[in-house]
Amino acid sequence: MLQIKNLYKVFNKGTVNENVLFNNFNLKVEEGDFISIIGSNGAGKSTLLNIVSGNIDLTEGSIILNGSEISRLPEYKRTKQIGRVFQNPSLGVSPNMTILENMSMAYNKGKKFNFSFAINKNNINMFKETLSKLNIGLENKLHNKVGLLSGGQRQALSLIMAVMAKPKLLLLDEHTAAIDPKTSEIIMDITSDIVEKNKITTLMVTHNLNDAIKMGNRLIMIHKGQVVMDIRGNEKKNLTADKLLDEFKKLENAISDSVLFA
């Protein structure tokens, strides 16, 4: 359903700061895959999601979503097909608008006549019902400005909003990293529910190895612009955070060896 082919991405080409992040990176994502993406700082995880969403241009290569080449489509043309939740709880929502206005905008996203701010009264009950399933009381705060909500409440709302327009793909970029551990657990449960109910193909970047193991059907580790681990099914279920840490250590040793013996 999503194919990233021969991706090449270089930042600051031809300068002293030239950084070749991806050199012939390939990834095939199957319909319904929920992939946890891990990798050390600077491995390129966020950039990968940004390239898929169109927020950052690729240098060379191809991105195919449901059979269509999208790598040259501008970001705004991909938003109907791709939902996103960011690490920063303020990014997925408009803080100066109410919950109702935010949800209405998300619901109308990509529709032909996009009267984003016109709230269809028939939808209010549907929005309330959706929120009440979260079990965090947001359904009683429809007229509250989103800027007054906690980070966790905003991330829950962002998740709901990200899938309202029924995108084909959901991109989660460390979406629980900025919230406390207990709320983070709730958001992860909500994430599982939403992904399952909407049967939406999902890529989730996380630094939390336990979440990476627990969530989804597949786990990949990115290192030096390549997929160095791609695990699914039972093999993934049998993973432990310790095993993953060992893998990280092996990669780090390989780097220091290559520097040592260069």
Ligand X SMILES: Nc1ncnc2c1ncn2[C@@H]1O[C@H](COP(=O)(O)OP(=O)(O)OP(=O)(O)O)[C@@H](O)[C@H]1O
Residue 39 or 89 having the CB closest to ligand X: 39
Q: Phi and psi (nearest 5°) for 36?
A: -85, 135
Residue 39 or 216 having the CB closest to ligand X: 39
Q: CA 212, CA 149: separation in Å to the nearest integer?
A: 27
Least distance in angstroms from the C-beta of 90 to ligand X:
17
Q: CA 145, CA 152: separation in Å to the nearest integer?
A: 15
Residue 19 or 150 having the CB closest to ligand X: 19
> Is 46 a residue that touches ligand X (CB under 6 A)?
yes
> Is 54 a residue that touches ligand X (CB under 6 A)?
no
Cα 162 to chain center, whole Å? 10
Please say whether the beta carbons of 203 and 169 come within 8 A: yes
- Candidates 4, 35, 47, 149: give the one binding ligand X (CB under 6 A): 47
Write each residue from 2 to 31 as x if it is in contact with ligand X (CB under 6 A), else as -, in one continuous string: ---------xx------x-x----------
Measure Cα distances from 171 to 104, 183, 208 in Å. 21, 20, 16
Residue 15 or 125 having the CB closest to ligand X: 15
Which tokens is 167 given?
């995108």
- Candidates 14, 15, 16, 41: give the one binding ligand X (CB under 6 A): 41
Non-local CB neighbours of 96 within 8 Å, separated by 6+ positions: 145, 146, 147
Beta bridge partners of residue 64, listed in sequence order: 3, 69
Which DSSP letter does residue 98 get? B
Q: CA 111, CA 114: separation in Å to the nearest integer?
A: 5
Residue 97 or 177 having the CB closest to ligand X: 177
Sheet holding 34-38, edge to edge: 82-85, 169-173, 201-205, 34-38, 218-223, 226-232
Least distance in angstroms from the C-beta of 225 to ligand X:
9
Least distance in angstroms from the C-beta of 218 to ligand X:
18
- Candidates 44, 89, 92, 216: give the one binding ligand X (CB under 6 A): 44
- Candidates 7, 45, 98, 225: give the one binding ligand X (CB under 6 A): 45
Least distance in angstroms from the C-beta of 40 to ligand X:
7
Q: CA 24, CA 87: separation in Å to the nearest integer?
A: 27
Query: Which listed range, 34-42, 67-75, 108-116, 223-231, lies at the site for ligand X (CB under 6 A)?
Result: 34-42
Least distance in angstroms from the C-beta of 19 to ligand X:
6
> Is 100 a residue that touches ligand X (CB under 6 A)?
no
Least distance in angstroms from the C-beta of 64 to ligand X:
21
Beta bridge partners of residue 205, listed in sequence order: 37, 173
Site residues, ligand X (CB under 6 A): 11-12, 19, 21, 39, 41-47
